Amino acid sequence: MIIKEICDIQEKKEISTSILESLPNWFGIQESRQEYISESSNLPFFAAIDESNPVGFISVKEIIDILLRFMLWGGFSLILTIKGLENL
């Protein structure tokens, strides 16, 4: 398995759609799922690829200078606070 940065918006949408639609218990509300897909396609995006098949993805959204939200669509979100970034 490899982790690959995806830059093409359409490819991001295709990957996120295939992953999220395979998880109906977590992403069964179509309107919410479409919002996730749309938002993640405009963010830095990395896909986990196994034998040329995407099996997961992560998109990263900066909320403020010292807070990043890693949106791991595939079951959960993780909020990570990084201290000391204000001097970068």
Query: Residues 50-66: pLDDT tens digits?
Result: 898 898 888 887 766 55
Percentage helix, strand, coil for the chain under 3-state DSSP, each rounded to 5: 30, 40, 30
68 near 62, Cβ under 8 Å? yes
Residue 47, Cβ neighbours under 10 Å: how many?
21
Query: Residues 27-45: pLDDT tens digits?
Result: 778 888 898 899 999 999 9
Residue 76: domain span: 2-87
Global pTM value: 0.69
Residue type, 24: P
Number of domains, the chain:
1
